[in-house]
Amino acid sequence: MSLPHYYVTIINMDSRFIEVDGAKLRKLRRERALSQQDIERGTGISQATLSDLEQGKRGARASTLRKLAGVLDVQPRELIKEE
CATH number, domain with residue 71: 1.10.260.40
pLDDT band at 79 (very low <50, low <70, confident <90, very high): very high
Separation between Cα atoms, residue 41 and residue 60, nearest integer Å: 18
First to last CA, the chain: 19
Per-residue pLDDT at 77 exceeds 90: yes
The answer to whether residues 41 and 9 touch, using CB atoms and an 8 Å cutoff, is no
Domain extent, residue 37, equals 5-79
List, for residues 37-49, the tens digit of each pLDDT value.
Answer: 999 999 999 999 9
- Find the mean pLDDT for residues 16-45: 95
- Find the mean pLDDT for residues 58-65: 94
For the entire predicted model, the pTM comes to: 0.79
Q: How far is CA 74 from CA 1, 12, 14, 25, 29, in A?
A: 26, 24, 24, 10, 11
- Find the mean pLDDT for residues 32-57: 96
CA 46 distance to own-chain centroid: 13
Domain count for the chain: 1
